[in-house]
Chain A
């Protein structure tokens, strides 16, 4: 019964989404508010319906209903219940339902807002969000149905269908194949939902952008309405990426956190355009410029979100054949192509109405620097997109399969990231409208001098790696410039308001959440950059086969092999667990337990590291090999990852910073004043 309920709810949700698109279009065309209202209500139905579908699916997953093919593919009897629930997004069909469920939730949230001032947007926002939802639900119903079951024909063949074909009997496998062991990790419980939340919430600003283009109401209203949506989207997407990195670090057993894999890049690309968008909308708000550009950025972000969703789960870009055989590949590409062409056509149609209201006055103005920032982010995007697509292209044209791996991306993006960091140091000091080298120089010389002294200290300390020296200089510069800016503003407030320093600092952040939240984001990014520079440039590793009692030495650490044991775990694993002691300069520090897990159901091994973490570095020990025949000896690989923990610390600061920037302002907010419009407007910040 559960499969029928789940599938029925899916079909109803699909019907409701399609109806809401049609009703919104008709209501708009005939100016009938009742039809638009009907569209809105039918869209509000989709989330409860999809919740019924999701609950049915979870019911099937936790109850070992292996007659359902999706359940068979992603669970097994031995898996704990929480993993059976998270297996919902562990396979393609389930994760598409998950995507649709989140999309419906966000679409409902947005249609529940007050529309008094923006009634003309409503039908078009419904059309865009419901079309996106209907597309995903269509995929689920017609191509990737998670409720399809196994049926056995009289001749013994097993077929997969939603409803029982004539002359067949239900077929129930004894046990499932189990979730991919890589996905049985706490990181995998939060990483996909966060990533998908980020993906889905970027649909909302896109929907408003399209509504703006269609209605021809080309003021900045859509930017104001979606500012907070965009920030949340960015927070979720960023956290999704960071949690993915942490998961890779803890689970993949290669001493790294980011391997420039197409799947990782797929999630990174919308982040790049989203970050560019987040910056360039500020220019539109403050100066009324770049309206066309912002539209293009949000269109790109939307289509990269769809592209990313598709790439993350399907793996079809690994070969031309995989793509051709995939049921959903052509559908996805068709949808991306169609929405991109339609959106760009709309943008061109409104091109003249979106002309800038002000002019660029100086190459050093903040808007010029923001434009440069956009260029750099898009350059990283070009490198990433091209690197992901090229293997497919190469196979199509020459028949030769190639790998585009980390060296390509690192070499191409490192100077671009350095450029972005340099801009992070300059842009906060530049003024809207006009800046000169003189004014910039006056603001930057103190932090720059200190950053130079720090770099000189590193050089005197023996650092000779040029990339590292440039990198650490930029990290120091951006951090110091930002801290100096915060300090200067706090001092000014302290003097003007006669407040104690800490209260002045708190109020400064509270009154200008967006600006100082943004500055804090920059600082958190520099903390992450510190971690990335540390591990990328100074990682060292060694591997050796040891007898019990022998040690490996690496970067001042001694790792001694003490003992090893192999035992079965209740969740269907065979665990081989080594005990090693970590010493530094003869002093005992910790006992680590690197291990190899063998999963019987999936017939797959996992190498889980033992980690000793400090602010300065991580010692990351892997058990590479152990043969019971020669029980005395085991092979270990040890990585020394300097500074890597700053990456995770930076992520924590980042969350706090975005919360500050995105938290609703309780008081009155002064809207930005344009050159063309000098009277400040005071309005409540209700959006």
Chain B
């Protein structure tokens, strides 16, 4: 592999990793058993958004309504409901906006797919542009190498290079 090919491969790999990371959902620790503590309630509330206030996670929302919703989570946990069931309950009652991300279904897929596609398009465009710029220079270098067989030209080249430094 040429050096340029190698650098392209490395950069593409980095960007690909980024794109893959985009799709990987974050791991969530599940609350388990026992009397539900504030921390266990907050662990779920943190993943839900206040259905009334804009962009406020349920665990930190100071309104009375949100306090009641947190109590509801505590109650449901005490009843032995799982995290998924509690979240599902909130989605059914208040809509998908209570989730911190659009559910991965139907039209919502666009939100996840479009940015990586656009970024990939950007990468392709950038490398095509770079290649089209680099090519003439690469040809020049070959020509220079052929020319530098001539000792006079080689000396001239060296002088120029030294001056550029």
State A265–B8 Cα separation when bound (angstroms): 31
Q: Is the CB of A402 within 8 A of B97?
A: yes
A-chain residues with CB within 8 Å of residue B114 when the two chains form the complex: 386
A-chain residues with CB within 8 Å of residue B18 when the two chains form the complex: 415-416, 418-419
Q: Is the CB of A386 within 8 A of B111?
A: yes
B97-108 toward A: CB 8 Å interface, digit per residue (1/0)?
A: 111111100111
Chain A CB within 10 A, most for which of B26, B55, B126, B136? B55
**A142 contacts chain B at the CB level, 8 A cutoff:** no
B63-81 toward A: CB 8 Å interface, digit per residue (1/0)?
A: 0000100000000000000
* Of B37, B111, B136, the contact of A390 (CB 8 Å cutoff): B111
State A242–B7 Cα separation when bound (angstroms): 35
Q: Is the CB of B97 within 8 A of A401?
A: yes
B-chain residues with CB within 8 Å of residue A252 when the two chains form the complex: 60
A-chain residues with CB within 8 Å of residue B6 when the two chains form the complex: 437
Q: How far is the CB of A163 from chain B (nearest CB, A)?
A: 35
Chain A CB within 10 A, most for which of B54, B102, B137? B102
Q: Is the CB of B96 within 8 A of A402?
A: yes
Nearest opposing residue in chain A for B7, CB measure: A363
B111-134 toward A: CB 8 Å interface, digit per residue (1/0)?
A: 100110011001100100010011
Q: Is the CB of B57 within 8 A of A254?
A: yes
Q: A543-B42, A605-B62 are in contact. Are A407 and B21 (CB under 8 A)?
A: no
Nearest opposing residue in chain A for B96, CB measure: A402
Point out residues on A near B: beta carbons under 8 Å.
252-255, 259, 261-262, 315, 318, 356, 359-364, 368, 371-372, 375, 378-379, 382-383, 386-387, 390-391, 393-394, 397-398, 400-408, 411-412, 414-416, 418-419, 422, 436-437, 541-545, 605-607, 625, 635, 637
* Of A261, A262, A401, the contact of B96 (CB 8 Å cutoff): A401
Q: Is the CB of A253 within 8 A of B60?
A: yes
State A382–B123 Cα separation when bound (angstroms): 13
State A225–B125 Cα separation when bound (angstroms): 31
Q: A315-B54, A416-B18 are in contact. Are A403 and B4 (CB under 8 A)?
A: no
Q: List 24 A-B contacts (CB under 8 A).
A: A255-B60, A259-B57, A315-B54, A359-B133, A361-B137, A362-B137, A372-B126, A382-B119, A398-B107, A401-B97, A402-B96, A402-B111, A403-B99, A404-B111, A405-B100, A407-B100, A408-B100, A408-B101, A411-B24, A415-B18, A418-B18, A437-B7, A545-B38, A606-B62
State A210–B27 Cα separation when bound (angstroms): 49
Q: How far is the CB of A272 from chain B (nearest CB, A)?
A: 13
Q: Is the CB of B130 within 8 A of A390?
A: no
Q: A372-B11, A412-B115, A543-B38 are in contact. Are A361 and B134 (CB under 8 A)?
A: yes
Q: Is the CB of A359 within 8 A of B136?
A: yes
**B22 contacts chain A at the CB level, 8 A cutoff:** yes
Q: How far is the CB of A604 from chain B (nearest CB, A)?
A: 9
Q: How far is the CB of B151 from chain A (nearest CB, A)?
A: 24
Q: Is the CB of B106 within 8 A of A398?
A: yes
Q: How far is the CB of A141 from chain B (nearest CB, A)?
A: 29
A-chain residues with CB within 8 Å of residue B150 when the two chains form the complex: none
State A398–B95 Cα separation when bound (angstroms): 12
* Of A372, A379, A541, A606, the contact of B119 (CB 8 Å cutoff): A379
Q: How far is the CB of B125 from chain A (nearest CB, A)?
A: 9
**B3 contacts chain A at the CB level, 8 A cutoff:** yes
Q: A359-B136, A363-B8 are in contact. Are A403 and B98 (CB under 8 A)?
A: yes
State A386–B108 Cα separation when bound (angstroms): 12
B-chain residues with CB within 8 Å of residue A318 when the two chains form the complex: 54
Q: How far is the CB of B64 from chain A (nearest CB, A)?
A: 10
Q: Is the CB of B130 within 8 A of A401?
A: no
| Total number of B residues with any Cβ neighbor in A under 8 Å | 52
B-chain residues with CB within 8 Å of residue A372 when the two chains form the complex: 11, 126
State A552–B7 Cα separation when bound (angstroms): 53
Q: How far is the CB of A259 from chain B (nearest CB, A)?
A: 7
Nearest opposing residue in chain B for A262, CB measure: B55
A-chain residues with CB within 8 Å of residue B24 when the two chains form the complex: 411
Q: Is the CB of A542 within 8 A of B126?
A: no
B-chain residues with CB within 8 Å of residue A544 when the two chains form the complex: 37-38
Q: Is the CB of A403 within 8 A of B102?
A: yes
State A379–B8 Cα separation when bound (angstroms): 18
A-chain residues with CB within 8 Å of residue B100 when the two chains form the complex: 403, 405-408
A-chain residues with CB within 8 Å of residue B39 when the two chains form the complex: 541-543
Nearest opposing residue in chain A for B20, CB measure: A415
State A283–B21 Cα separation when bound (angstroms): 31
Q: How far is the CB of B158 from chain A (nearest CB, A)?
A: 16
A-chain residues with CB within 8 Å of residue B106 when the two chains form the complex: 398
Q: Is the CB of B21 within 8 A of A414?
A: yes
Q: Is the CB of B107 within 8 A of A397?
A: yes
* Of B11, B19, B55, B110, the contact of A405 (CB 8 Å cutoff): B55
**B149 contacts chain A at the CB level, 8 A cutoff:** no
Q: A383-B115, A543-B42, A545-B38 are in contact. Are A371 and B97 (CB under 8 A)?
A: no
Q: How far is the CB of A69 from chain B (nearest CB, A)?
A: 24
Q: How far is the CB of B164 from chain A (nearest CB, A)?
A: 9
Q: How far is the CB of A623 from chain B (nearest CB, A)?
A: 11
Nearest opposing residue in chain B for A604, CB measure: B62
Chain A CB within 10 A, most for which of B8, B101, B114, B126? B101
State A318–B52 Cα separation when bound (angstroms): 12
* Of B17, B42, B67, B108, the contact of A415 (CB 8 Å cutoff): B17
Chain B CB within 10 A, most for which of A361, A397, A437? A361
Q: A359-B137, A363-B8 are in contact. Are A419 and B107 (CB under 8 A)?
A: no
Given A359-B137, A398-B107, A405-B101, 6 more pairs with CB closer than 8 A: A362-B137, A405-B49, A415-B14, A416-B18, A543-B38, A605-B62
**B86 contacts chain A at the CB level, 8 A cutoff:** no
Nearest opposing residue in chain B for A673, CB measure: B164
* Of B26, B95, B107, the contact of A401 (CB 8 Å cutoff): B95
Q: Is the CB of A382 within 8 A of B115?
A: yes
A-chain residues with CB within 8 Å of residue B118 when the two chains form the complex: 379, 382
**B31 contacts chain A at the CB level, 8 A cutoff:** no
B-chain residues with CB within 8 Å of residue A404 when the two chains form the complex: 101-102, 111
B-chain residues with CB within 8 Å of residue A419 when the two chains form the complex: 14-15, 18
Q: How far is the CB of B1 from chain A (nearest CB, A)?
A: 12
State A371–B133 Cα separation when bound (angstroms): 13
* Of B17, B123, B130, the contact of A360 (CB 8 Å cutoff): B130
Chain B CB within 10 A, most for which of A390, A436, A635? A390
Chain A CB within 10 A, most for which of B6, B42, B107, B114? B107
Chain B CB within 10 A, most for which of A405, A408, A416, A606? A405
Nearest opposing residue in chain A for B134, CB measure: A360
A-chain residues with CB within 8 Å of residue B134 when the two chains form the complex: 359-363
State A148–B51 Cα separation when bound (angstroms): 34
B-chain residues with CB within 8 Å of residue A403 when the two chains form the complex: 49, 55, 96-102
Q: A363-B130, A407-B101, A408-B111 are in contact. Are A375 and B54 (CB under 8 A)?
A: no
